[in-house]
Amino acid sequence: MLSIGRKAYNYGLFAYLNTTAMTIIQIQQILREAVIAAAHSRFGVELEQVVAEIPPRTELGDLAFPVAFELAKKIKQATGEKKNPRELAEVLKAEIETIPAVACVEVAGAGYLNIFFDRAAFLSANAAADPLPNRALSTDPSSPKVCVEHTSVNPNKAAHIGHVRNSVLGDTFQRILKATGKRVEIQNYIDNTGVQVADVVVGFLFIENMNIDAIKDLDKELSDAGQTFDYYCWDLYARVGVEYQSNEALKEKRTEVLHLIEEGNNETAELADYVATRNVECIVDTMERLSIRYDLLPRESEILHLHFWDRAFEQMKQLGVIRYETEGKQAGCWVMPFEEHVGDADNETDKILVRSNGTVTYTGKDIAYQLWKLGILGLDFCYREFFKYPDGREVWITRSDETTETVHPPFGGGETIYNVIDTRQSYPQDIVRKGVAAISPERGEKASVHLSYEMVALSPAAAEELGFRLSDEDRKRPFIEMSGRKGLGVKADDLIDRLEANALAEVEVRHPDTPADEKRGIAHQIAVGALRYFLLKFTRNTVIVFDFKEALSFEGETGLFCQYSAVRANSIFRKLAEQDETVLDSRMDLVAMGSLADVFSSIDGNDIWSMAILASRLEETVEQAAMQNEPAILAKYTFTLAKAFNLFYHNHKIIAETDEIKRAVLVVVADIARRALTNALDTLGIEVPDKM
RNA sequence: GGUCCCGUAGCUCAGUUGGAUAGAGCGUUCGCCUCCUAAGUGAAAGGCCGGUGGUUCGAAUCCACCCGGGAUCACCA
């Protein structure tokens, strides 16, 4: 049994506080094993896994096992004997109750095994515990490395809200993985040789009649006028789209331009590279506003020029993964047989990787890229530093010339690869995964994870607010899909600007005497919190129908609500500091005073304990979010935690509390809560302002 | 047509892998600042969990079939 008091002093106070902390995950694991062992020894039943759940109310305990039902079923199957689940639960109860950290066990309902932790012991032991203890491993070279690809916006225009969903999802997931101890490499794939870039190049060359120098001049004019290159390209791209509809000649130019870009080493390719690179810079700047960063920008041009595909092609041919079609409508193509199918209807063909003209499809290139990510291609990119973030962190970009040796960090070769790509690309992603698994069966399909998510669409009202004319038919639709080609979408920077402006107006009212810089900083933190939380509170497979009112809201379930809760928590400790008190004092008081049980058995006991136990569940919530590839789980938890803290804050006047023991408990619990909240928000990429 | 996703309160969404009285925000109605930040908080009203069958101690959750809505199935990327 964990105990407090004299024993703690024998071992030294700090050692006690730091080393005997048993997390909920650990307690849970011990209990699971105990249940399995008890089922074996008392009933001769082998349980493979035991489901543990959180009871609906604190009065029902801290952990529940609905295991007696399953046990009854298994006993009946084995012996034919019908047992009452409640009686089975009573037997298990006796076995589990002796475990340290468990105060008592109750059999409830039809046979639930409800576990009550030893509250005083738990609190004393976890008062100083790190809410995310594994996070430190994320910088440990011996930790397993994973790669996360996200953002990957075509570098021909500004990013819109749909791209931001991708990036926020990817960035948050990356933070979640790090919180579980994984080493993470973040890649933002740059499709700098695709049709979308070609389209904008066509616009510059044949609509605007500009050469590269003219574009550079334009770029400078734009920045002098406070405008951005990616916004200019956004409009130009839309104009090209309109022009294509009536101008066949221009459309033919596209094929020509695309060819030149792919080939490289010509003026058009140089111009395209300038356009693409400038757009990448703009998009990276936009994402930096949202605290989203990258390690490497792999480019399609290098996949072409370094012949990644050729290497993958050889491997696939040798292993018989792909087949050359000699007849039928796919004659002359290399295809990958996909799924069992009968017939040869239009929708039942194999996936073509190499066209009859010998060129490789996007999916083919993607397989080669995925092989590189997994470290099994047998080729590597060349690299150069692209830029440094203000804090010195480097971002690298790929290049194809090997003339100069550059010392660079190792890239690629991840144990698991997460690709954050919207659900519309599930089919090609499936092919990539299967193709890669065919080449490397030992790694298999599990090594490639498609982190898919539904699109962000516009409500008809939002589309009209952006100035788009809708037909009566469109107005009746549940949502309107955004389209870069049509120039229809909410640009990321516009939305962030509006959020910052709204937040600033409010900060001006609340803190008129604060320096302007600081006010802008707070407004920025609020804007980022609002946008990130807005995109994260939806689960991945929910279509977000964008609505300005909802997205700009600072009320209810928002990032701001969570931030505000943390700010209020911090103000308690600021006040304490003004009285020369620290959390450490309270922690020591806790151990020294011993009789915490009284506090928990008082009227407010359940209330205080609920706060403590909820805040202690961050680690398992993060694990769960990582396991299920679902950041929304963490977002929801964070909101619940903030709400619980607001209630706690409302019900207990901590600084004014006169009962010494209770006050120490309240301080320690408030501290656990604010650290959990701060860490949860940090994992969501949301900062806590100094004041709000 | 095949595959996949969605359908839960007036609206927007969660629902811990099959568990206890189905939750939250917005909106509506009525309350709470001599007190650590009211961007907060309490209460009320609001549900055929799309439908019908099935599986079992037990189903919003699993299975089958329907009904609505969406995505996807290129020698596009």
User: What CATH number corresponds to the domain at position A566?
Assistant: 1.10.730.10
Looking at residue A592, what is its pLDDT?
A: 73
Same domain as A540, residue A686: yes
Q: For residue A56, is it within any domain?
A: yes
| Bases on strand B under 7 Å from any protein CB | 1-2, 4-6, 12-17, 19-21, 23-27, 35-42, 56-58, 69-77
Q: Are residues A91 and A160 in the same domain?
A: no
Residues 213-272 on chain A lying near strand B, CB distance under 7 A: none
Q: Is A51 (CB) below 7 Å from strand B?
A: yes
Residue A468 lies in a domain: no
The answer, yes or no, to whether residue A14 has pLDDT greater than 60, is no
Alpha helices (H) along A290-330: 300-305, 308-319
pLDDT band at A21 (very low <50, low <70, confident <90, very high): low
CA distance A448 to A420: 11
Same domain (yes/no): A410, A529: no
Q: Is the CB of A134 under 7 A from strand B?
A: no
- Classified as helix, coil or strand, A396 is strand
pLDDT band at A539 (very low <50, low <70, confident <90, very high): very high
Q: How many C-beta atoms lie closer than 10 Å to residue A443's C-beta?
A: 17
pLDDT at residue A397, as a whole number: 97
Residue A141 in tokens? 């070279």
**What is the per-residue pLDDT across A411-469, written as a single tens digit (0 to 9) for each?**
999 999 999 999 999 999 999 999 999 999 999 899 999 999 999 999 988 999 998 88
Evaluate whether residue A462 is within a structural domain.
no
Count the domains in chain A.
3
A29: CATH: 3.30.1360.70
Same domain, residue pair A119 and A227:
no
Most confident of A54-68, A181-195, A465-479, A654-668: A181-195
CA distances A650 to A214, A346, A568, A576, Å, are 62, 64, 11, 18
Q: Is the sign of the CA dihedral A27, A31, A37, A42 positive or negative?
A: positive
pLDDT tens, position by position, A496-519: 999 999 999 999 999 999 999 999
**Closest nucleotide to A644's CA, by C1' atom?**
B41
A179/A138 Cα distance (integer angstroms)? 7
Q: Do both A649 and A690 map to the same domain?
A: yes
Average pLDDT over residues A348-353: 79
Q: What is the pLDDT of residues A612-657, one digit of tens each?
A: 999 999 999 999 999 999 999 999 999 999 999 999 999 999 999 9
Q: What is the ipTM of this complex?
A: 0.97
CA dist A468 and A458 (Å) reads 11
- pLDDT for the residue numbered A612: 95
pLDDT in tens, A374-400: 999 999 999 999 999 999 999 999 998
In a domain, A668, yes or no: yes
Would the CA dihedral through A483, A486, A492, A497 be positive or negative? negative
Quick one: pLDDT at residue A358? 87
Domain end among A126, A159, A186: A126
**Which residue is associated with the tokens 């550059």?**
A406
Instruction: Establish if A191 belongs to a structural domain.
Output: yes
Taking the C-alpha atoms of A298, A300, A302 and A308 in order, what is their torsion angle to the nearest 10 degrees?
100
pLDDT for res A164: 98
Together in a domain, A90 and A184 = no
Query: What is the rounded distance in angstroms from the CA atom of residue A517 to the CA atom of residue A512?
Result: 12
Tell me which of A76-85, A185-194, A306-315, A364-373 is least confident. Answer: A76-85
Q: Is the CB of A443 under 7 A from strand B?
A: no
Q: Tell me: do A502 and A549 sit in the same domain.
A: yes
> A158 and A239, same structural domain?
yes
CA distance A324 to A333: 6
Instruction: Indicate whether A558 belongs to any domain.
Output: yes
CATH number at residue A200: 3.40.50.620
Asked if residue A641 keeps its beta carbon closer than 7 A to nucleic acid strand B, the reply is no
pLDDT greater than 80 at residue A593: no
- Last residue in a domain, options A396, A427, A453: A453
Residue after which a domain boundary falls, among A402, A425, A453: A453
- Chain A residues 647 to 686 whose Cβ lies within 7 Å of strand B are 647, 649-650, 652-656
- A522 and A628 in a single domain? The answer is yes
| Whether residues A583 and A527 fall in one domain | yes
* Residue A67, amino acid: V
Q: Which residues from the 56-85 window of protein chain A have CB within 7 angstroms of nucleic acid chain B?
A: 56-57, 60-61, 64, 66, 69-70, 73
Best CA proximity match to A176, nearest among A615, A676, A623, A537: A623
Burial zone of A408 (CB within 10 Å; 0-12 exposed, 13-18 middle, 19+ buried): middle
Q: Which domain holds residue A196?
A: 145-453
Determine whether the distance from the CB of A475 to the nearest atom of strand B is below 7 Å: no
Task: Specify whether A168 is located in the same domain as A101.
Answer: no
Q: Cα(A101)–Cα(A103) distance, rounded to whole angstroms?
A: 6
Question: Is the predicted pLDDT of residue A367 greater than 80, yes or no?
Answer: yes
pLDDT, mean of residues A594-622: 88
Q: Average model confidence (pLDDT) for chain A? A: 91
Lowest mean pLDDT among A154-158, A323-327, A618-622: A323-327
- Residue type present at position A327: E
Structural domain contains residue A228? yes
Cα separation, A349 vs A568, in Å, equals 60
Residue among A667, A668, A600, A650 nearest A62 (CA): A600
> Which pLDDT tens digit goes with each residue over A273-301?
999 999 999 999 999 999 999 999 999 99
Protein-to-nucleotide distance from the CA of A455 to the C1' of B69, whole angstroms:
15
Quote the percentage of chain A above a pLDDT of 70: 95
The pLDDT of A333-343, averaged and rounded, is 67
What single string gives the DSSP state of each residue in A473-513? Answer: HHHHSS-EE-BTTTTBS-BHHHHHHHHHHHHHHHHHHH-TT
CB of A346 under 7 A from strand B? yes
What's the CA–C1' distance between A455 and B68, in Å?
21
Q: How confident is the model at residue A180, as a pLDDT? A: 97
Task: Assess whether A118 and A206 both reside in one domain.
Answer: no
- Residue A460, in any domain of the structure: no
CB A123 within 8 A of CB A669: yes
> A129: which residues sit within 8 A by CB, 6+ positions away?
A21, A23, A616, A672
Q: How far in angstroms lies nucleotide B57's C1' from the CA of residue A55?
A: 20
